[in-house]
């Protein structure tokens, strides 16, 4: 997933904290994340069973949060194509890295 078409402002918006705070994502383990960077770390921390709970039992609520709250439709579409937690974690981590590069942040 390439960020070549994403401008600085859009990248910042995708990486921003969920507003208002109640729109943060709550994993089934009660881990709360408020932005894509924390979301990537959360995916790395949870186990496969928790991942499955969110993608199978709740109709893709992970990608829905990425689309509706973080605003990154391209990432959400890509997430719907992966089948494992580790694939999703790598995908989101790579996207965060690309977005940070667009805004010049490490």
The secondary structure element, H or E, covering residue 12 is helix 8-15
Q: Tell me, what's the pLDDT at 4?
A: 53
Q: Tell me, what's the pLDDT at 56?
A: 84
Whether residue 3 lies inside any domain: the answer is no
Give the tens place of pLDDT for each residue, 19-34: 999 999 999 988 999 9
Q: How confident is the model at residue 2 (pLDDT cuts 50, 70, 90)?
A: low
Whether residue 1 lies inside any domain: the answer is no
Single pTM value for the model: 0.90
Q: Tell me, what's the pLDDT at 97?
A: 96
Task: State the SS3 of 13-60.
Answer: HHHCCCCCHHHCEECCCCCEECCHHHHHHHHHHCCHHHHHHHHHHCCC
Give the tens place of pLDDT for each residue, 41-95: 999 999 999 999 998 866 789 999 999 999 999 999 999 999 999 999 999 999 9
Whether residue 2 lies inside any domain: the answer is no
Whether residue 24 lies inside any domain: the answer is yes
d(CA 24, CA 93): 18
Whether residue 71 lies inside any domain: the answer is yes
What's the number of domains the chain is made of?
A: 1
Range(s) of the domain holding residue 43: 8-103
Whether residue 60 lies inside any domain: the answer is yes
Q: Tell me, what's the pLDDT at 57?
A: 63
Q: Tell me, what's the pLDDT at 105?
A: 85
Whether residue 40 lies inside any domain: the answer is yes
């Amino acid at each position: 997933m390439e960020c070549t078409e994403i401008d600085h402002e859009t990248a910042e918006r995708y990486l921003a904290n969920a507003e208002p705070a109640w729109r943060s994502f709550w994993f089934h383990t009660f881990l709360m994340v408020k932005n894509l960077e924390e979301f990537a770390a959360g995916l790395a921390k949870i186990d496969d069973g928790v991942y499955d709970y969110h993608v199978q039992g709740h109709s893709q609520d992970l990608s829905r949060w990425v689309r509706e709250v973080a605003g990154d439709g391209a990432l959400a579409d890509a997430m719907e194509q992966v089948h494992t937690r580790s694939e999703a974690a790598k995908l989101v981590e790579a996207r965060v890295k690309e977005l940070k590069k667009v805004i010049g942040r490490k």
